[in-house]
Amino acid sequence: MALLSKSCVYGIRAAILMAIKGNEEFISIKDIAKDLNLSAHFLTKILQQLTQEGLLLSHRGPKGGVKFSREPKLIKLIEIVAAIDGLELFEECALGLHGCGTATPCPLHEKWSEHKLVLRRLFETESLEKLADNVQEAGLRLRTLSQLDILEFNKNKRL
């Protein structure tokens, strides 16, 4: 099991890339998909969810694409997660017990509910702009690396 679904991490990667490109004009989903090496159709579906949640504005036709409805500075990672995976991760019992809570806790309840808060705080704290800055300043990555990419990286120390 991973922490986040694939759809969710694709959505996050796309959002960070969009934040890097600024939020002046609409950015075509096809271009984002090409940059991230993802299926454009699939990414379209994922970003549609962000549009429906009001996180993105979309525009059809030539010069169309998507852009954030607010400054990326103000958008926190948890908003992307909430729109795609939901907040279950930050709210549910680790043992999946429905009635788990202070009144009727599971044996992990106390430890896990403490931990959930920390995890949630992490996602609430990171803004897209900050993550975008990380990427640019430190030359961080958004794409998975193929063997070829790794060779390339070793030469240029950058992707």
Partner DNA sequence: AGTATTAAAGACTCTTTTATCCTAAATTAA
Partner DNA sequence: TTAATTTAGGATAAAAGAGTCTTTAATACT
User: Interface with DNA by CB under 7 A: which residues?
Assistant: 5-7, 10, 26-30, 39-42, 44-45, 47-48, 51-52, 58-66
Binding string, 5-24, against its own copies, x = CB under 8 A? xx-xx--xx--x--------
Which option in DNA, its own copies, none does residue 47 bind, with CB closer than 5 to 8 A by kind? DNA
- Please give the single-letter amino acid code of residue 154: N
- Please give the single-letter amino acid code of residue 64: G
H/E element, 123: helix 109-125
Indicate the residue among 55 and 132 with the shorter CB distance to DNA.
55
Which option in its own copies, DNA, none does residue 54 bind, with CB closer than 5 to 8 A by kind? none
Hunting for tokens 């907040």 — which residue is that?
87
CB of 105 to DNA, least distance (A): 22
Give CA–CA dist 123/79, Å, rounded.
9
With 0-12 CB in 10 A as exposed, 13-18 as middle and 19+ as buried, what is 124?
middle
Instruction: For residue 131, give the nearest of 92, 61, 79, 83 by alpha carbon.
Output: 79
Binding site for its own copies (CB under 8 A): 1-6, 8-9, 12-13, 16, 77, 85-86, 88-89, 92, 94-100, 104-109, 111-112, 115, 118-119, 122, 126, 131-132, 134-135, 138, 140-145, 149-150, 153, 159
